[in-house]
Every structure is written in C-alpha cells, then in structure tokens.
Amino acid sequence: MTAYGAADWPSEVAIEADGGILMDAETGTILYGKNINEAYYPASITKLLTAQVVLDRCKLDETVEFSQNAVYNVEQGSKSLSMDTGDRMSVKDSLYGLILHSANEVANALAEHAAGSTEEFAKLMNQKAEELGCTGSNFVNPSGLNDPEHYTTAYDMALIARAALNYSEIVEIMGTRVYKIPPSQKAPEGQTISPGHKMLKKNDAAYDSRVFGGKTGFTSLAGNTLVTYAKKDDMTLIAVILNGHQTHYTDTKKLLDFGFSRFQSMKLTDYEGSLVPENHLTYSDSNTDQSLLLLNQNSRIVLPKEADLSAVVPIVSYDETSLTPSGTVVTVNYLYGERTVGHAWISPNPAVRSRLTRSAVPEGLSDQAAPGGRFRMNLSRGWLLAAGAAAALAAVACGILFFLKRQKIREARVAAVRKHRREQWMQESGCSAEEFEALLAKRKGSSGKKRRH
C-alpha cells in the first residue's frame, strides 16, 4: 500500500479507507492521496458523471418517461423513488431524484432518455471520462450498481467531481436541503427528498459547515464511497473516499482539516513581481500603454503554508486541455518539486485587440484580403501569437533566474514554437517572409513600443 507524499510536502494525515484523495478544486493540485490509481468500485458516486452526461445532451424541461426496463432493471432493495412503468417526470426533477435521493430507476430512465439505452449511455460516460483525463476507469451503467466491469480510481473520481462544479445545475442540486418530487402512480401526493450526505445535515453529528455538496455511495462490493465538496476562505477542496469501512465521514473530516490547515490558495495576480514577474507581458500598445496580453484573473497556485516561493518553478506550455480557458494563448504551469501546483493563463487583452485588428494590415495589401476581412483576422492572430510567445519567454526568464542552466533550453523551445506559428500564419494568410519582416520593421519604427520594467 502506497501513499502519495513527498519530503517537503505535508503528509501528517492518514485515512482508514482503502483509497482516497484530497484535491484543490481550482488548480487540480493533489494535496493528499492514498492508492489514487488503484481501481475500486464507485457505487452511487457514479451518478455525478451520469448527471454531467445528461446535462450535456438534455434540457431541464424535457420529459423523461419510465420504461419497464428502467424501473425493474435494478438490484432488489436498492435506492429508488418507487417510480412505475409509464410514469413521467422532467429532466430537472429526475436530476434531483438522481443526486439527492440516489434513485437507481431514475438513473436508468435518464440514460434511456439521453441515449436510447443504458448501454449506449455507458459509452457516453466513458467518452466523457476520457475527455476529463480519466485513464483508470470503466463505466457500464448509469447508477453504479455492482458490476465487475464498473470501476474507477480515486484520482479519476476527483477529476469527475471537479468537472461537476462547472455545471451550475449540479451545484444547485447538491446544495438543496429539501425538494418536492411531483406525484407519480405509487406516490400520488408526491415525495419530499433531502440529501443523503450527512455532512450537509445540521442535525447530524457529522455536519460540517464548510461542506456545500457531495454524493454518497454504497454497495456490498464497493463498501462506503463518498465525494465531498468543502470551501473555506478562498480555497475549495474535493475529497474522495473509496472502499471505506464505516469511517468515510471521519476520513473525510480528517482530509478537510488537513487541507485547510496546511495549505493556502494564492491568486497569481496578487504576486506580480515574484510568482508572476511584472514584465511578463512585454509587449504594450503605444497609444494606450496597455499590455497586449493579460493574465487570467482566476489563475492560482496552491502551496503548503510554510513553502518558500523561490522554490516554485514556472514552465511554459502551448498545450490545451479540457480545462484551459477559451482564448488562452500561453499557459504557465507552476511546479513545486515534482508537483504541478497551479497554472497561469495568458490571453489577448480585449481592450486593444480590436484596434490591432484594424491597424495590422500593411499598406498595399488590404486589397488582397479575402472577403469578410479574413486577412485582417489572421494577421491580428499572428501578432497576438507572436506577442504571446515573447511574453511567455519573458515570464520564464524573469521567474527562474536561479535556474540559468535551463534558460537556454527553454528559450530555444519558445523560439521554435514562435517560428512554427509565424510560418503557419504566413502560409494561411499568403504573406511572404519579406512582407512579414517589413511589417514588423514598420510597426516597430512607427509605434515606439516600450517594454515595461
């Protein structure tokens, strides 16, 4: 049995469950892990993925009809809303029944509504999980009931739980304390449901005011499983417990106490000049003295409270993931030892982008532009990409002066990427190398751009 830890990383916590993880929701930083890549049965925490797939494909006001297969293809004695064949309910009401009450026939009905069958829906679940970066999971049903081919890992489940926060509907449902399900054949007066997660219940000994959502699970094979979301100050944490032994709530509390007491979430815009050097955006507009590129205001890193900031190493990347914000030109990934502890996302400044588009066309070439201003659009994009590469290079050079031996390698990488993007733009726009260099010389000579210090 192995635990995820490092000599300079806080590790004074232990859980009884076979597997578990504590992740910062904003950055994805792993604060603690135990057997995070081992496969376990997830039970009903599966439904967090089910809800995401449903919301990707359905509107809340659509009507779900319960088939005989949806109602009766469940394990005897498992959680249900006592729906019967022919009952109808909206997607919205069904999602409340799915997440708050963990109703398994509702999971089946939603799957059939969204994909035609539970089997086809399972394919969508696996596709979604892969998009989120899951590599150790396989899902064969929408409810999480026992099946030897239905499994996940603590790390994969944390990724799924983190993605669920992007769905306002899921967050709202998890935070609901009481909900009224409309009448059905077996419940003509309707039903009142509430969350099963004990840490959300004020009258329960396990109640924790930091917790704002989560999902419970249990089967004979899975044992106790639990996903918990908690927030304190500027930090939101996700705790996942797999194969718990009646200690899933105490394990979760240990993890939350550990995370909030030993770590801090740091907004990168508050640390310009240290974590983000002041001249990380090196190109500015001469008329307004505004940076052409901006740091995303949500960029954060998470560190132990006693960490030395000089040990944080920024690494430039042009790769995009499913979590990269739209419009990002450059990503700076921050490492603390071997761990990725956060990201800085750099994107074009919208305040100057429109004027760059209008002014970027060289004299004598505007008549050659494609209909609809394609040439203007591509040239502006070329300028922004070139500026993004230069800005990222400056960020590395200023942020890791104490790693001089690595600087030349990184400079070469950035230069290669910039050259490739410039060549790609010239090919797309039909601009020759000579015309591009003439444009650069003209703009530099006429605008008098100054670097920020």
Catalytic residues: 44, 47, 102
| Coil vs helix vs strand at 172 | helix
Concatenate the DSSP letters of all residues of 90-107 into one string: EHHHHHHHHHTS--HHHH
Short-list 14, 17, 393, CA closest to 222:
17
166, 54 Cβ separation under 8 angstroms: no
Is 215 annotated in some ligand binding site?
Answer: yes
Amino acid at 296: N
430 CA to centre of own chain:
38
C-beta separation of 24 from 302 below 8 A: yes
DSSP 19-50: EEEEEETTT--EEEEESTTS-B--GGGGHHHH
In this structure, are residues 238 and 162 in contact, taking their beta carbons and an 8 Å threshold? yes
Give the residue from 226, 215, 220 showing the smallest Cα distance to 253: 226
Q: Using CA atoms, how far apart are residues 59 and 252, in angstroms rounded to an integer?
A: 34
| Cα 23 from Cα 34, distance rounded (Å) | 12
What span, in angstroms and rounded, lies between the C-alpha atoms of 86 and 74? 17
Q: Which letter does DSSP use for residue 17 in this model?
A: S
Amino acid at 356: L
- The strands making up 3-4's β-sheet, listed across from edge to edge, are 3-4, 30-34, 19-24, 235-244, 223-232, 211-219
DSSP string, 366-378: GGGPPTTTHHHHH
Q: Per the annotation, where are the binding residues?
A: 215
Q: Per the annotation, where are the binding residues for substrate?
A: 215
